[in-house]
Amino acid sequence: MVYFTSARPGGYGGTDIYGAMQSGPNSWGPAVNLGPQVNTASADMCPALPPGTGTFSWFSNRSDNSFGSIDIFWTNKTNLSTTP
């Protein structure tokens, strides 16, 4: 899985964090927006997976829970299947 930041159309606003699964050598599945638990109308960026943990962290300047200009957020990482 690769995580990245993009301002592509159809997001929640600002920049959003997306993920894509590797489907083969130099081949990737479709980019999936990580949804409203991570992304907001503000700039959500710089996704990171700390080593040895099941957490996912990122920076955001979201206004709904902020201690300043840009804060660090984290959540537990859950792998979701893209097949039915």
Residues 35-57 pLDDT 10s: 998 999 999 999 998 887 788 89
The ranges assigned to domains in the chain are 2-76
CA dihedral 53, 39, 16, 32 (to 10 degrees): 70
Main-chain dihedrals φ then ψ at residue 62, nearest 5 degrees: -60, 145
pTM of the shown model: 0.81
Query: Cα–Cα distance between 59 and 2 in angstroms, integer?
Result: 17
- Tell me the average pLDDT across 15-32: 94
The alpha carbon of residue 5 and the mean position of all alpha carbons in its chain are separated, in whole angstroms, by 7
Confidence grade of residue 84 (pLDDT, cut at 50, 70, 90): very low
β-strands 55-60, 16-20 pairing: unpaired
